[in-house]
Amino acid sequence: MSGLHVAIIMDGNGRWARRRRLPRWRGHLAGVDSVRDVVRAAPDLGVSTLTLYAFSSDNWKRPPTEVGRLFWLLREYCRREQRELRENGCRLKAFGRRDRIPKSALAALEEAEAFTREGQTLLLRLAIDYGSRWAIAQAARELAQQVKAGKLDPDRISVDALHTQLTQHLPEPDLLIRTAGEQRLSDFLLWEAAYAELYFSPTFWPDFRRSHLEAAIAEFRRRERRFGGLAPVVPTAAARELLSATAEALRAG
Ligand code: FPP
């Protein structure tokens, strides 16, 4: 899988619903249509990894009825979409804490993960009960355990070692999109997105479709990524002429 890694903070479901005088959960329900559309579109747009922030660890602060609906939607999504996901070569994989996910949602999720495990076209990663500070602390704890067990020299704890522990060799996001106008990361992929291009869309998630993803990727492709280095030097026409004349003169001896 060598295409783009796009990560999305799907925001604005509640506001979308409020504008329509609907209960908040209807916004989440409509948001599932956007998930389906974006997942279908991703491979055509050159995306090979798509990471969606489906439920943050902070979302437990919401009323239990809303939390219950969100996990119900997740369960139904897994049950209903796993066949299509597999047919389209899409592999679903969740990350985050699993111990607090309601049983029936977890069972559906794990079934969909197993059912789609051979998918090679798109890796669909769902962040569920996830927070990146927690994930970084987990990775640090794991390295500390290895030190305690005598398997790791503390001097070898480096950026690379922590990176590998945290990402398990998954590619870093190239592009991180947040919908609905807010411009913050909300504890999403803080380490992994160190060099990601950020794209903030004013569109509420339930209105976000293939065309919006396409626009975000087009904008990403126009940007110049330097990773802390310098912009590549593009020689002017005059400089190119001089270079080729010099090369010619050298060849002629
Ligand atoms: C943020 O909108 C969105 C969420 C907390 C949940 C996202 C969940 C879905 C799109 C549906 C289920 C997902 C899958 C993968 C099946 P918000 O409620 O914070 O919106 P607001 O800021 O306008 O209130």
Rounded Cα distance between 183 and 170, Å, is: 25
Say if ligand 1 is within 6 A of residue 42 CB: no
Query: Residue 237's pLDDT is what?
Result: 61
Q: What is the CATH number of the domain that holds 48?
A: 3.40.1180.10
Query: Residue 230's pLDDT is what?
Result: 82
Who contacts 130 (Cβ-Cβ below 8 Å, separation ≥6)? Answer: 53, 55, 56, 57, 95, 96, 97, 188
Query: Residue 228's pLDDT is what?
Result: 84
Per the structure, the complete domain to which residue 128 belongs is given by 4-252
Nearest to 161 by CA among 139, 184, 186: 139
Most informative mutation of 11, 20, 128 for ligand 1 (most atoms within 8 A of CB):
11
Closest C-alpha residue for ligand 1 atom 15: 54
Which amino acid is residue 214, in one-letter code? E
Query: Residue 25's pLDDT is what?
Result: 97
Q: What is the pLDDT of residues 102-131, one digit of tens each?
A: 999 999 999 999 999 999 999 999 999 999
Query: Residue 171's pLDDT is what?
Result: 95
Q: Which residues of the chain have pLDDT under 70?
A: 1, 233-240, 253
Residues 35, 7, 85, 93, CA torsion sign: negative
What's the structural domain count of the chain? Answer: 1
